[in-house]
């Protein structure tokens, strides 16, 4: 049986896997990331460390699987989507990886908004946020010497694939699932936008070619064949963004499907068959699905899932002594829906969807009766309330597409309480996936499709799915959350206005 190699270059680390053509995972390996945090909101990673994690991860996963390098038919990578790095003519990094968590590029956003944010959204599908467009302008204005050395701007998955294949800058690429974040694309037209390039005077030659996720972009060089244990000449497909891979692997392959990716960033993605960007509320990001002709609008809380980890560590004496998530969930079961009037706002680093850099996290409504359980449950409920607002916006934009179920993936999908809260708040059943890491299967499907192992992306992705529990909404649950969900929206809007006023007083 042929096998496929995947590597997911995530925020927390890189996970490599060996996947059989039947979808079964034969071996995995994980390399943690090192986030370099600096002044004024900077968050970077060392590109060489990122690439080394891919090479070492592939070797370790291959050794764990017992599969020989010659049995691997293709390599497919995915990675963080909203950050970028610059490479030179030879394909080597000349900048750090400018993370999606890095907020320095906020200084470039007023220029874009002044030109016309609605037009930017209409063209790119995404509001102005901490993504490639402002980041490119930031490098040009704040680091002009480095900017001149940049031959192409690339994303992590394309950087790693290019290095494995020995590609030069002239062969650099970006796949179309990243276009909404690039800041200079005509997403519907699947091309770079001459209008946006002219408007901001960007050097068009620094933009890579646009490819399909399954296109074979090169072949594994002898150098990296020796280091990974794979055969020289193994085909490498372009791959895609991590959320796009997770969506494909999570079964978001047809209109009317929903996917909850309950990870570091809490993501709700939807399947629709038409492009209708969110020009008014600037909340939904209209991304291209890997599936041709399908759009996957989504919105997310920057670090929504991380709030749960933060709270767990906060109430424990140390990392080893912190309660487990299972313990926290059991505690929170004793608290009624609505957390006894307690509301939590999860936007610790500002809101991304819609963009509000000044907004911060908060608890509202604290009284003497609230304890650890209510505080924890309020965090879970806040993420569900955000999802409810995303779905409301989507229904206004895309019409009466019936949504029957939400597939739940990611670490947060292990919590039955969390899933029941989401089902009641959304009024839609939540169905868990047995494989919480859907990026692996998504990238494997793309890699196999690229070399002819599979002839249908959607059907293959669906054949790889295995489901767990289904959590049905209850009438009493829906009623219990209706008023708290409305109060949550009022709280976020009120805090946004308050922080805006406080900033004006600085």
Kindly report, residue by residue over 327-336, the tens digit of the pLDDT.
999 999 999 9
For residue 346, give the nearest of 315, 312, 380 by alpha carbon: 380
- Strand-pairing partners, residue 3, are 20, 72
Higher pLDDT, 233 or 317: 233
pLDDT at 9: 97
Does pLDDT of 268 surpass 90? yes
Does 444 score more than 70 pLDDT? yes
pLDDT reported for residue 357? 82
- Distance from chain centroid for Cα 440: 14
pLDDT above 70: residue 267: yes
As a whole number of angstroms, the distance between CA 195 and CA 131 comes to 19
CB 251 within 8 A of CB 269: no
Based on the domain organization, do 216 and 321 belong to the same domain?
no
Q: How many CB atoms lie within 10 A of CB 23?
A: 20
Q: What was the pLDDT predicted at 506? A: 59
> Is the confidence at residue 371, as pLDDT, over 90?
yes
What is the pLDDT confidence band of residue 263, given thresholds at 50, 70 and 90?
confident
Separation CA 39–CA 357 (nearest Å) = 16
Residues 221 and 349 in one domain: no
Name 20's bridge partners. 3
Q: Is the pLDDT of residue 423 over 80?
A: yes
> Is 348 inside any structural domain?
yes
Domain-embedded: residue 469: no
List beta partners, residue 219. 235
Instruction: Based on the fold, state whether residues 49 and 196 are members of the same structural domain.
Output: yes
d(C-alpha 197, C-alpha 159), whole Å? 23
User: Do 219 and 313 fall into the same domain?
Assistant: no
Q: Looking at the predicted structure, is the pLDDT value of residue 276 above 90?
A: yes
Hey, what are 99's tokens? 């993370």
How many domains, the chain? 2
CB atoms under 10 Å from CB of 422, counted, come to: 30
The least confident of 68-82, 153-167, 303-317, 437-451 is: 303-317
Q: Percentage helix, strand, coil, to 5, in the chain?
A: 45, 20, 35
The residue-averaged pLDDT of 401-414 equals: 88
Average pLDDT over residues 52-67: 98
Which has the higher per-residue pLDDT, 355 or 368?
368
Residue with tokens 């607002």: 389
**Mean predicted confidence (pLDDT) in 201-227:** 98
The range of the structural domain enclosing residue 310 comes to 304-385+476-505
- Do 199 and 309 belong to one domain? no
Give the pairing type, strands 25-32 and 13-20.
Answer: antiparallel
Identify whether residues 222 and 371 lie together within a single domain.
no
Q: So what's the pLDDT on residue 317?
A: 72
Tell me, yes or no, whether 245 lies in a domain. no
pLDDT confidence of 415, banded at 50, 70, 90?
A: very high
Here the tokens at position 252 are 């978001």
On whether both 346 and 490 belong to a single domain, the answer is: yes
| Helix/strand/coil for 435 | coil
Between residues 129 and 220, the one the model is more confident about? 220
| Mean of pLDDT values over 142-146 | 97
* Residue 23 in domain: yes
Better-scored residue on pLDDT, 103 or 159: 159
The answer for residues whose C-beta is within 8 angstroms of residue 305's C-beta and 6 or more apart is 262, 263, 264, 265, 266, 383, 410, 411, 412
Last residue of a domain, one of 238, 255, 283: 238
Edge-to-edge strand order for the sheet containing 97-98? Answer: 36-37, 43-45, 97-98
Average pLDDT, the chain: 94
pLDDT of residue 503: 79
In-domain check, residue 408 = no
What are 355's two structure tokens?
Answer: 């963009």
pLDDT classification of 265: cutoffs 50, 70, 90: confident
Residue 352 pLDDT: 83
In this prediction, residue 411 carries a pLDDT of 85
- Tokens standing for residue 303: 């670090």
Q: Which residues, including other chains, have CB under 8 Å from residue 346's CB and lie 6 or more apart?
A: 266, 301, 303, 304, 307, 361, 379, 382, 383, 386
Of 186-190, 192-196, 309-313, give the lowest mean pLDDT range: 309-313
The pTM of this model reads 0.90
Q: Do residues 415 and 423 touch, judged by C-beta distance below 8 A?
A: no
Closest to 294 measured CA to CA, from 141, 142, 398: 398
Confidence of residue 204 (pLDDT cuts 50, 70, 90): very high
Give domain status of residue 495, yes or no: yes
Confidence of residue 397 (pLDDT cuts 50, 70, 90): confident
Same structural domain, 230 and 352 = no
Whether residue 354 sits in one domain with residue 224? no
Which H or E run includes 37?
Answer: strand 36-37
Q: Per the domain annotation, does 456 fall within a domain?
A: no
pLDDT at 319: 61
Which pLDDT band holds residue 320 (cuts at 50, 70, 90)?
low
Length of the chain: 506
Q: How far is CA 193 from CA 123, 169, 184, 196, 296, in A?
A: 8, 20, 6, 5, 21
**Residue 28 located in a structural domain:** yes
Q: What is the mean pLDDT of residues 105-115?
A: 94
């Amino acid at each position: 049986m042929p096998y496929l190699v995947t590597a997911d270059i995530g925020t927390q680390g890189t996970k490599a896997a060996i996947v059989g053509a039947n979808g079964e995972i034969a071996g995995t390996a994980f390399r943690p990331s090192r986030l370099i945090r600096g002044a004024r909101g900077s968050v970077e990673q060392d590109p060489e460390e990122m690439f080394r994690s891919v090479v070492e991860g592939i070797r370790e996963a291959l050794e764990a699987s017992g599969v020989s390098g010659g049995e691997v038919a293709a390599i497919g990578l995915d990675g963080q989507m909203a950050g970028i790095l610059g490479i030179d003519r030879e394909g080597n990094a000349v900048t750090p990886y400018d993370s999606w968590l890095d907020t320095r590029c906020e200084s470039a956003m007023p220029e874009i908004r002044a030109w016309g944010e609605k037009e930017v959204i209409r063209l790119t599908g995404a509001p102005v946020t901490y993504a490639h467009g402002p980041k490119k302008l930031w490098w040009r204005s704040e680091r002009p010497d480095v900017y001149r050395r940049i031959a192409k701007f690339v994303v992590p998955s394309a950087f790693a694939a290019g290095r494995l294949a020995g590609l030069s800058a002239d062969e650099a690429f970006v796949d179309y699932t990243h276009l909404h974040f690039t800041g200079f694309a005509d997403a519907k037209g699947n091309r770079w936008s001459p209008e946006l390039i002219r408007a901001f005077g960007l050097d068009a030659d620094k933009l890579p070619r646009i490819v399909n996720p399954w296109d074979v972009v090169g072949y594994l060089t002898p150098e990296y064949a020796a280091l990974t244990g794979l055969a020289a000449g193994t085909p490498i497909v372009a791959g895609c963004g991590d959320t796009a891979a997770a969506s494909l692997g999570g079964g978001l392959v047809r209109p009317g499907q929903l996917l909850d990716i309950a990870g570091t960033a809490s993501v709700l993605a939807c399947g629709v068959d038409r492009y209708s960007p969110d020009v008014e509320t600037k909340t939904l990001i209209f991304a291209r699905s890997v599936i041709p002709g399908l759009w996957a609008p989504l919105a997310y809380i920057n670090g929504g899932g991380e709030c749960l980890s933060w709270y767990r560590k906060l109430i424990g004496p140390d990392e080893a002594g912190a309660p487990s998530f299972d313990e926290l969930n059991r505690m929170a079961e004793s608290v009624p829906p609505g957390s006894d009037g307690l509301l939590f706002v999860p936007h610790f680093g500002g809101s991304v969807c819609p963009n509000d850099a000044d907004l911060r996290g908060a608890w509202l409504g604290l009284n003497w009766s609230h304890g650890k359980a209510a505080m924890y449950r309020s965090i879970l409920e806040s993420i569900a309330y955000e999802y409810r607002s995303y779905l409301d916006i989507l229904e206004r934009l895309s019409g009466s597409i019936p949504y029957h179920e939400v597939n739940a993936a990611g670490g947060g999908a292990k919590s039955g309480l969390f899933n029941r809260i989401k089902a009641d708040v959304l009024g839609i059943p939540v169905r868990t996936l047995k494989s919480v890491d859907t990026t692996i299967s998504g990238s494997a499907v793309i890699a196999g499709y690229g070399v002819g192992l599979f002839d249908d992306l959607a059907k293959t992705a669906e054949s790889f799915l295995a489901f767990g529990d289904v959590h049905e909404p209850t009438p009493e649950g829906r009623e219990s959350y209706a008023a708290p969900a409305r109060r949550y929206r009022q709280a976020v809007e009120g805090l946004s206005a308050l922080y805006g006023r406080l900033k004006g007083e600085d």
